[in-house]
Amino acid sequence: MKAKQLRPFIIGNWKMHGTQRALRRLDTLAAGLAKQNNKANNAKPRKVDIMICPPATLLLSMAGQLKAAQDAGQQIMLGGQDCHAEASGAHTGDISAPQLRDAGAKASLIGHSERRTDYNETNKQVQAKAAAAHAAGLMAIICIGETLKERRAKATLPVIGKQLRESVPQDKPKDNRLITAKNTVIAYEPVWAIGTGLTPTGEQIAAVHAHIRKALIRRFGAEGERIRILYGGSVKPSNAAQLLAIPHVNGALVGGASLQAGEFLKIIAAAREIG
Ligand code: PEP
Protein backbone atom coordinates (compact mmCIF):
# COMPACT_ATOMS: atom_id res chain seq x y z
CA MET A 1 0.00 0.00 0.00
CA LYS A 2 1.57 3.27 -1.14
CA ALA A 3 1.72 5.91 1.58
CA LYS A 4 -0.20 9.09 0.73
CA GLN A 5 1.71 12.32 1.39
CA LEU A 6 -0.19 14.18 4.09
CA ARG A 7 0.70 17.52 5.63
CA PRO A 8 2.99 16.75 8.59
CA PHE A 9 1.63 17.56 12.03
CA ILE A 10 4.04 18.25 14.89
CA ILE A 11 2.49 18.47 18.35
CA GLY A 12 4.25 19.48 21.55
CA ASN A 13 2.86 17.93 24.75
CA TRP A 14 4.08 19.98 27.69
CA LYS A 15 2.46 17.59 30.18
CA MET A 16 2.50 18.99 33.75
CA HIS A 17 5.44 21.28 33.06
CA GLY A 18 5.52 25.04 33.19
CA THR A 19 4.08 28.11 34.83
CA GLN A 20 3.48 31.55 33.26
CA ARG A 21 7.24 31.98 32.79
CA ALA A 22 7.21 29.11 30.32
CA LEU A 23 5.15 31.22 27.93
CA ARG A 24 8.40 32.94 26.90
CA ARG A 25 9.17 29.76 25.03
CA LEU A 26 6.41 30.61 22.60
CA ASP A 27 8.05 33.89 21.61
CA THR A 28 11.24 31.98 20.80
CA LEU A 29 9.19 29.41 18.89
CA ALA A 30 7.31 32.05 16.86
CA ALA A 31 10.56 33.89 16.06
CA GLY A 32 12.20 30.63 14.98
CA LEU A 33 9.26 29.70 12.77
CA ALA A 34 9.39 33.13 11.12
CA LYS A 35 13.06 32.46 10.31
CA GLN A 36 12.27 29.00 8.93
CA ASN A 37 9.46 30.39 6.78
CA ASN A 38 11.60 33.21 5.43
CA LYS A 39 14.45 30.89 4.64
CA ALA A 40 12.13 28.38 3.04
CA ASN A 41 10.14 30.90 1.03
CA ASN A 42 12.49 30.66 -1.92
CA ALA A 43 12.49 26.88 -1.84
CA LYS A 44 8.69 26.36 -1.58
CA PRO A 45 8.62 25.14 2.01
CA ARG A 46 6.62 22.13 3.02
CA LYS A 47 3.73 23.33 5.17
CA VAL A 48 3.68 21.80 8.63
CA ASP A 49 0.80 21.98 11.12
CA ILE A 50 2.08 22.88 14.57
CA MET A 51 0.31 22.56 17.90
CA ILE A 52 1.20 23.02 21.56
CA CYS A 53 -0.74 21.26 24.31
CA PRO A 54 0.18 23.14 27.49
CA PRO A 55 -1.07 22.49 31.02
CA ALA A 56 -4.67 23.75 31.40
CA THR A 57 -3.54 26.69 33.55
CA LEU A 58 -1.68 28.17 30.57
CA LEU A 59 -4.33 27.69 27.90
CA LEU A 60 -5.95 31.09 28.12
CA SER A 61 -2.74 33.15 28.27
CA MET A 62 -1.26 31.05 25.51
CA ALA A 63 -4.33 31.57 23.32
CA GLY A 64 -3.70 35.35 23.47
CA GLN A 65 -0.03 34.88 22.69
CA LEU A 66 -0.76 32.58 19.75
CA LYS A 67 -3.27 35.07 18.36
CA ALA A 68 -0.49 37.69 18.35
CA ALA A 69 1.87 35.21 16.66
CA GLN A 70 -0.82 34.43 14.09
CA ASP A 71 -1.30 38.14 13.36
CA ALA A 72 2.45 38.22 12.70
CA GLY A 73 2.11 35.27 10.29
CA GLN A 74 3.01 32.28 12.49
CA GLN A 75 0.26 29.74 12.83
CA ILE A 76 0.57 27.64 16.00
CA MET A 77 -2.52 25.81 17.22
CA LEU A 78 -3.49 25.23 20.80
CA GLY A 79 -4.59 21.90 22.24
CA GLY A 80 -5.69 20.48 25.58
CA GLN A 81 -4.17 17.36 27.15
CA ASP A 82 -7.41 15.61 28.09
CA CYS A 83 -11.14 16.30 28.38
CA HIS A 84 -14.09 14.87 30.28
CA ALA A 85 -16.67 12.81 28.41
CA GLU A 86 -19.47 15.10 29.55
CA ALA A 87 -19.96 18.70 28.54
CA SER A 88 -20.51 19.91 32.12
CA GLY A 89 -21.41 18.57 35.54
CA ALA A 90 -20.24 17.75 39.04
CA HIS A 91 -16.73 16.52 38.18
CA THR A 92 -14.30 18.35 40.43
CA GLY A 93 -10.93 18.94 38.82
CA ASP A 94 -11.99 17.91 35.33
CA ILE A 95 -12.21 20.03 32.19
CA SER A 96 -14.81 19.56 29.49
CA ALA A 97 -14.34 19.77 25.74
CA PRO A 98 -16.52 22.91 25.42
CA GLN A 99 -14.37 24.53 28.15
CA LEU A 100 -11.21 23.70 26.20
CA ARG A 101 -12.76 25.18 23.10
CA ASP A 102 -13.83 28.26 25.06
CA ALA A 103 -10.20 28.70 26.19
CA GLY A 104 -9.04 28.72 22.57
CA ALA A 105 -8.11 25.07 22.01
CA LYS A 106 -8.66 23.50 18.60
CA ALA A 107 -7.96 19.95 19.73
CA SER A 108 -7.28 17.71 22.66
CA LEU A 109 -5.03 14.75 23.29
CA ILE A 110 -7.23 11.84 24.32
CA GLY A 111 -6.13 8.58 25.95
CA HIS A 112 -2.47 9.47 26.39
CA SER A 113 -0.73 6.48 27.98
CA GLU A 114 -0.05 8.53 31.12
CA ARG A 115 -3.83 8.99 31.50
CA ARG A 116 -4.47 5.34 30.70
CA THR A 117 -1.90 4.32 33.34
CA ASP A 118 -2.42 6.96 36.04
CA TYR A 119 -6.23 6.94 35.89
CA ASN A 120 -6.88 3.47 34.48
CA GLU A 121 -8.64 4.97 31.47
CA THR A 122 -10.19 2.27 29.33
CA ASN A 123 -10.70 2.28 25.57
CA LYS A 124 -14.39 2.84 26.21
CA GLN A 125 -13.70 5.97 28.25
CA VAL A 126 -11.23 7.18 25.65
CA GLN A 127 -13.86 6.68 22.96
CA ALA A 128 -16.43 8.68 24.97
CA LYS A 129 -13.93 11.49 25.49
CA ALA A 130 -13.08 11.56 21.78
CA ALA A 131 -16.79 11.73 20.94
CA ALA A 132 -17.15 14.62 23.42
CA ALA A 133 -14.24 16.42 21.76
CA HIS A 134 -15.91 15.98 18.36
CA ALA A 135 -19.25 17.19 19.69
CA ALA A 136 -17.53 20.36 20.93
CA GLY A 137 -15.92 20.92 17.53
CA LEU A 138 -12.45 19.86 18.65
CA MET A 139 -10.06 17.57 16.87
CA ALA A 140 -9.43 14.40 18.90
CA ILE A 141 -5.81 13.25 18.93
CA ILE A 142 -6.33 9.68 20.04
CA CYS A 143 -3.27 8.01 21.56
CA ILE A 144 -2.63 4.28 21.42
CA GLY A 145 0.43 2.15 22.09
CA GLU A 146 1.66 -1.15 23.47
CA THR A 147 3.61 -1.79 26.68
CA LEU A 148 7.02 -3.42 26.63
CA LYS A 149 5.48 -6.63 27.97
CA GLU A 150 3.00 -6.67 25.08
CA ARG A 151 5.77 -6.01 22.56
CA ARG A 152 7.90 -8.81 24.01
CA ALA A 153 4.90 -11.13 23.84
CA LYS A 154 4.64 -10.26 20.12
CA ALA A 155 1.17 -8.87 20.78
CA THR A 156 1.80 -5.36 19.44
CA LEU A 157 -0.41 -5.48 16.36
CA PRO A 158 -3.43 -7.12 18.04
CA VAL A 159 -3.14 -4.70 20.99
CA ILE A 160 -2.93 -1.69 18.68
CA GLY A 161 -5.81 -2.99 16.56
CA LYS A 162 -8.06 -3.42 19.60
CA GLN A 163 -7.18 0.01 21.02
CA LEU A 164 -7.89 1.61 17.67
CA ARG A 165 -11.18 -0.22 17.19
CA GLU A 166 -12.45 0.57 20.66
CA SER A 167 -11.03 4.08 21.19
CA VAL A 168 -12.08 5.76 17.95
CA PRO A 169 -15.77 6.77 18.00
CA GLN A 170 -18.22 5.23 15.55
CA ASP A 171 -19.46 7.20 12.57
CA LYS A 172 -22.94 8.53 13.36
CA PRO A 173 -24.35 9.68 10.03
CA LYS A 174 -27.80 10.28 11.56
CA ASP A 175 -26.33 12.90 13.91
CA ASN A 176 -24.10 14.20 11.16
CA ARG A 177 -21.14 13.04 13.28
CA LEU A 178 -18.52 11.45 11.02
CA ILE A 179 -14.91 10.60 11.66
CA THR A 180 -12.84 12.73 9.33
CA ALA A 181 -9.22 13.67 8.75
CA LYS A 182 -10.12 17.13 10.08
CA ASN A 183 -11.47 15.96 13.42
CA THR A 184 -9.32 12.90 14.12
CA VAL A 185 -5.62 12.15 14.40
CA ILE A 186 -4.10 8.92 15.69
CA ALA A 187 -0.90 9.03 17.74
CA TYR A 188 1.00 5.76 17.96
CA GLU A 189 3.07 5.96 21.11
CA PRO A 190 4.71 2.79 22.40
CA VAL A 191 4.41 3.17 26.18
CA TRP A 192 7.99 1.97 26.68
CA ALA A 193 9.33 4.68 24.34
CA ILE A 194 7.73 7.64 26.12
CA GLY A 195 10.28 9.67 28.03
CA THR A 196 12.81 6.83 28.02
CA GLY A 197 15.10 7.73 25.14
CA LEU A 198 14.22 4.38 23.54
CA THR A 199 12.53 4.11 20.15
CA PRO A 200 11.34 1.13 18.13
CA THR A 201 13.26 0.32 14.97
CA GLY A 202 12.15 1.90 11.71
CA GLU A 203 10.76 -1.47 10.59
CA GLN A 204 8.75 -1.85 13.80
CA ILE A 205 7.25 1.64 13.44
CA ALA A 206 6.54 1.08 9.74
CA ALA A 207 4.71 -2.17 10.52
CA VAL A 208 2.49 -0.57 13.17
CA HIS A 209 1.70 2.52 11.09
CA ALA A 210 0.83 0.38 8.04
CA HIS A 211 -1.42 -1.73 10.27
CA ILE A 212 -3.18 1.39 11.59
CA ARG A 213 -3.56 2.79 8.07
CA LYS A 214 -5.13 -0.44 6.82
CA ALA A 215 -7.54 -0.53 9.75
CA LEU A 216 -8.54 3.12 9.18
CA ILE A 217 -9.21 2.50 5.49
CA ARG A 218 -11.18 -0.64 6.25
CA ARG A 219 -13.36 1.28 8.67
CA PHE A 220 -13.58 4.77 7.14
CA GLY A 221 -12.89 4.19 3.46
CA ALA A 222 -11.15 7.00 1.57
CA GLU A 223 -11.25 9.22 4.68
CA GLY A 224 -9.10 6.62 6.42
CA GLU A 225 -6.35 7.34 3.91
CA ARG A 226 -6.25 10.98 4.99
CA ILE A 227 -6.37 10.64 8.79
CA ARG A 228 -2.92 11.49 10.03
CA ILE A 229 -1.00 8.95 12.06
CA LEU A 230 1.67 10.47 14.29
CA TYR A 231 4.55 8.70 15.97
CA GLY A 232 5.38 9.61 19.57
CA GLY A 233 8.03 8.39 21.99
CA SER A 234 11.46 9.99 22.51
CA VAL A 235 11.35 12.04 19.30
CA LYS A 236 14.26 14.48 19.32
CA PRO A 237 16.24 16.52 16.79
CA SER A 238 18.75 13.70 16.26
CA ASN A 239 16.13 11.11 15.22
CA ALA A 240 13.29 13.26 13.85
CA ALA A 241 14.27 13.16 10.17
CA GLN A 242 14.63 9.39 10.22
CA LEU A 243 11.34 8.81 12.07
CA LEU A 244 9.36 11.27 9.95
CA ALA A 245 10.55 9.62 6.73
CA ILE A 246 8.95 6.27 7.63
CA PRO A 247 5.92 5.47 5.42
CA HIS A 248 2.58 6.39 7.05
CA VAL A 249 4.30 8.50 9.73
CA ASN A 250 2.53 11.80 9.21
CA GLY A 251 4.07 13.75 12.04
CA ALA A 252 5.16 13.48 15.66
CA LEU A 253 3.81 13.88 19.16
CA VAL A 254 6.71 15.29 21.14
CA GLY A 255 6.97 15.41 24.92
CA GLY A 256 10.34 16.26 26.47
CA ALA A 257 11.88 17.87 23.38
CA SER A 258 8.93 20.26 23.06
CA LEU A 259 9.94 21.95 26.31
CA GLN A 260 12.94 23.55 24.61
CA ALA A 261 11.93 25.87 21.78
CA GLY A 262 15.24 25.22 19.98
CA GLU A 263 14.79 21.45 20.01
CA PHE A 264 11.16 21.68 18.95
CA LEU A 265 12.11 24.01 16.08
CA LYS A 266 14.66 21.48 14.83
CA ILE A 267 12.00 18.77 14.79
CA ILE A 268 9.66 21.08 12.82
CA ALA A 269 12.52 21.87 10.43
CA ALA A 270 13.03 18.12 9.90
CA ALA A 271 9.32 17.75 9.04
CA ARG A 272 9.65 20.48 6.38
CA GLU A 273 12.40 18.50 4.68
CA ILE A 274 10.42 15.29 4.23
CA GLY A 275 8.81 14.37 0.96
C1 PEP B 1 4.54 12.19 24.95
O2 PEP B 1 4.41 12.83 25.96
O3 PEP B 1 3.53 11.91 24.27
C4 PEP B 1 5.89 11.76 24.54
C5 PEP B 1 6.01 11.10 23.42
O6 PEP B 1 6.92 12.09 25.36
P7 PEP B 1 8.49 12.01 24.98
O8 PEP B 1 8.66 12.70 23.65
O9 PEP B 1 9.18 12.76 26.09
O10 PEP B 1 8.87 10.59 24.89
Rounded to the nearest integer, the mean pLDDT of the chain is 95
- Annotated catalytic residue within 112, 134, 209, 248: 112
Q: What is the mean pLDDT of residues 148-155?
A: 97
CA 80 to CA 94: how far, in whole Å?
A: 12
Q: Distance from the CA of 142 to the center of ligand 1, in angstroms?
A: 14
- Annotated catalytic residue within 114, 146, 189, 263: 189
Query: Residue of the nearest CA to atom 1 in ligand 1?
Result: 255
CA 108 to CA 131: how far, in whole Å?
A: 11
CA 80 to CA 141: how far, in whole Å?
A: 10
Active site residue 263: no
pLDDT at 221: 95
pLDDT higher than 70, residue 43: no
CA 54 to CA 29: how far, in whole Å?
A: 14
What's CA 224's distance to the chain center, in Å?
17
Query: Residue of the nearest CA to atom 3 in ligand 1?
Result: 255
Ligand 1 touching residue 243 (CB < 6 A): no
- AA identity, residue 172: K
pLDDT higher than 60, residue 41: no
pLDDT higher than 90, residue 126: yes
How confident is the model over 161-200, as pLDDT tens digits? 999 999 999 988 888 789 999 999 999 999 999 999 999 9
Q: Distance from the CA of 216 to the center of ligand 1, in angstroms?
A: 24
From 9, 13, 53, mutation site for ligand 1 pocket: most ligand atoms within 8 A of C-beta? 13
Ligand 1 touching residue 256 (CB < 6 A): yes
Collapse the DSSP code of 250 into the 3-class scheme (helix H, G, I; strand E, B; otherwise coil) and give the result.
coil
pTM for the predicted model, two decimal places: 0.96
